[in-house]
């Protein structure tokens, strides 16, 4: 029995009917807003390839965090632009580092925001790689203690969740052990479990001043052609103690988000990255796309694929639009 008994258009007739049968309901409650903390004072500099997104000094950051909270967005993820870089990224685990001070500023402002921190070396090393270099290569095991120290320093400063994005093998276990040994068993780990070697990180590398000075990230980030390997990465990170797993970028990897959601019983996050944001913004600036429509459509797509949590530079705009709907 098909037409004329079945008429799917019956349930599309009015906005009220469409709302009643809607399968994916976007809410600010699942969004995370990424922010860039830099050294100095009174600085607020827009990233040229990411209109609306700023690098800002620690004294400025709480103000935007207050706005984020008032929009109903529950969490921010912090990236740091340190005042100096060295081969080992030593400043990344200093209590006086930019991210550590930014966390303290947010805590001092008495905000309820969940503070997530990106744990990686690329913003802190002079060579821009996500690990230390030995014999011309990014050395896996030698990087782990530095990542663990960095995560611990974020926890000490008051982070709720640490999010390793370096793609070294074994980092989740190293971080979990370090946090537990120091009494931070309640600090959660959101691992960038399936992080692809993507061209869509371009604008971020301007924002975070973290482009590799030689070579590329193919020896540690995943090959975009692989899907089974993503499931293996996720399984390993969960075994090591990850609480939330992330797929990154989002839009070219909706199939991966879906498969991870189907296979594993943990919260799944997706990172709608800088290049995905820049593409939309550029088209909107040219008058080629309707920003509100396409952003809400993209975010609904990422959620429909299976993401419970979406990290996105569109978070503040999306939260405003969702309030109006």
Residues that bind ligand PBG (CB under 6 A): 118, 120, 122, 130, 165-166, 201, 204-205, 273-274
Q: Which residue's CB is nearer to ligand PBG, number 165 or number 303? A: 165
Nearer to ligand PBG, 190 or 260 (CB): 190
Q: What is the 3-state secondary structure (H, E, C) of the chain?
A: CCCCCCCHHHHHCCHHHHHHCCCCCCCHHHEEEEEEEECCCCCEEECCCCCCCEEEEHHHHHHHHHHHHHCCCCEEEEEEECCCCECCCHHHHCCCCHHHHHHHHHHHCCCCCEEEEEECCCCCECCCCCCEEECCEEEHHHHHHHHHHHHHHHHHHCCCEEEECCCCCCHHHHHHHHHHHCCCCCCEEEEEEEEECCHHHHHHHHHCCCCCCCCCCCCCCECCCCCHHHHHHHHHHHHHCCCEEEEECCHHHHHHHHHHHHHCCCCEEEEECHHHHHHHHHHHHCCCCCHHHHHHHHHHHHHHHCCCEEEECCHHHHHHHHHHC
Q: Which CB atom, from 185 or from 219, has the smaller least distance to ligand PBG?
A: 219
**Residue 195 appears among annotated catalytic residues:** yes
* CB 274 to ligand PBG: min, Å: 3
Indicate which residue of 85, 178, 195, 281 is catalytic. Answer: 195
Question: Closest Cα partner for 37 from 96, 110, 112, 111?
Answer: 96
Active-site residue flag, 248: yes
Q: Which is nearer to ligand PBG, 183 or 199 (CB)?
A: 199
Return d(Cα 82, Cα 294) in angstroms, integer.
35
The minimum distance between CB 265 and ligand PBG, in angstroms, equals: 26
Nearer to ligand PBG, 59 or 93 (CB): 93
CB 128 within 8 A of CB 108: no
Shortest separation between residue 280's beta carbon and ligand PBG, angstroms: 13
Please identify the residue of the shown chain whose CB is closest to the bound ligand PBG: 204
Q: Choosing from 85, 248, 281, 316, which is the catalytic residue? A: 248
- What's the min distance (Å) between Cβ of 66 and ligand PBG? 23
Among left, alpha and beta (phi > 0; psi -120 to 50; other), residue 40 is left
Output 57 or 274, the one with its CB closest to ligand PBG.
274
Best CA proximity match to 247, nearest among 225, 272, 228, 265: 272
Shortest reach from residue 273's CB to ligand PBG, in Å: 4
User: Smallest gap, in angstroms, from Cβ of residue 117 to ligand PBG?
Assistant: 11
**Which residues participate in catalysis according to the annotation?**
195, 248
């Amino acid at each position: 029995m098909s037409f004329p008994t079945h008429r799917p258009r019956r349930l599309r007739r009015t906005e009220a009917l469409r709302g009643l049968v809607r399968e994916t309901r976007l809410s600010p409650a699942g969004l995370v807003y990424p922010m860039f903390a830099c050294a100095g004072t009174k600085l607020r500099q827009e990233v040229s390839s990411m209109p609306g997104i700023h690098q800002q000094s620690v004294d400025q950051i709480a103000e935007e965090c207050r706005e984020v909270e008032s929009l109903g967005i529950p969490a921010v993820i912090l990236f740091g632009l340190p005042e100096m870089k060295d081969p080992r990224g030593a400043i990344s685990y200093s209590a006086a580092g930019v991210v550590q001070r930014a966390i303290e500023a947010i805590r001092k402002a008495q905000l309820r925001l969940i503070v997530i921190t990106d744990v990686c070396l690329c913003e802190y090393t002079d060579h821009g790689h996500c690990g230390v270099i030995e014999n011309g290569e990014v050395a896996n095991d030698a990087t782990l203690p530095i990542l663990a120290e960095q995560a611990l320093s974020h926890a000490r400063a008051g982070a709720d969740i640490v999010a390793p994005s370096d793609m070294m093998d074994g980092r989740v276990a190293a971080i979990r052990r370090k946090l537990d040994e120091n009494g931070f068993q309640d600090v959660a780990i959101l691992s960038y479990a399936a992080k692809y070697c993507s061209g869509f990180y371009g604008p971020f590398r301007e924002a975070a001043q973290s482009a590799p000075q030689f070579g590329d990230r193919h020896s540690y980030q995943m090959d975009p052609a692989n899907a089974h390997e993503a499931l293996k990465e996720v399984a390993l990170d969960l075994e090591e103690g990850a609480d939330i797993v992330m797929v990154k970028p989002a839009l070219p990897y909706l199939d991966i988000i879906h498969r991870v959601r189907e296979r594993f019983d943990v919260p799944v996050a997706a990172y709608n990255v800088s290049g995905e944001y820049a593409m939309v913004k550029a088209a909107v600036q040219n008058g080629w796309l309707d920003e509100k429509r396409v952003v809400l459509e993209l975010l609904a797509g990422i959620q429909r694929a299976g993401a419970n949590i979406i990290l996105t530079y569109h978070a503040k705009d999306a939260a405003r639009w969702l309030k109006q709907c």
